[in-house]
Amino acid sequence: SQQGEEDPQALSIQEGENATMNCSYKTSINNLQWYRQNSGRGLVHLILIRSNEREKHSGRLRVTLDTSKKSSSLLITASRAADTASYFCATDVRGSGNTGKLIFGQGTTLQVKP
């Protein structure tokens, strides 16, 4: 079964609006990470939030983590056309510390219209 599930699957907004994507997972985690992938390109690491953290900010990004609900959200504020991409959450469920074995969600495709 899929560890990470994201919603919505697709999101279309106007430039300047905020975009919120959600991710749910099933098992206990060490950390949860968000990645961006432009069409046909590689993954760009956006932010990592550890299981003992509840909120983290990086520029226009805000990530929350609720381990009791096994869910996370990614908020992009003041969106730009360049934010158009697919966004994936990924959970690290292995051992202690941070490792590279990640379980990815199906992704949310974000389109920001100029």
Partner 1 sequence: NAGVMQNPRHLVRRRGQEARLRCSPMKGHSHVYWYRQLPEEGLKFMVYLQKENIIDESGMPKERFSAEFPKEGPSILRIQQVVRGDSAAYFCASSPLDSQAFFGQGTRLTVV
Tokens of 73: 């959200």
Q: Which stretch binds partner 1 (CB under 8 A): 11-19, 52-60, 74-82, 97-105?
A: 97-105
Q: Which stretch binds partner 1 (CB under 8 A): 49-57, 60-68, 76-84, 96-104?
A: 96-104
The 3-32 contact track toward partner 1, x by CB under 8 A, reads -x----------------------------
Residue 106 touches partner 1, criterion: CB under 8 A:
yes
Q: How far is the CB of 100 from partner 1 (least distance, A)?
A: 3
Q: Which stretch binds partner 1 (CB under 8 A): 14-22, 37-45, 56-64, 69-77?
A: 37-45
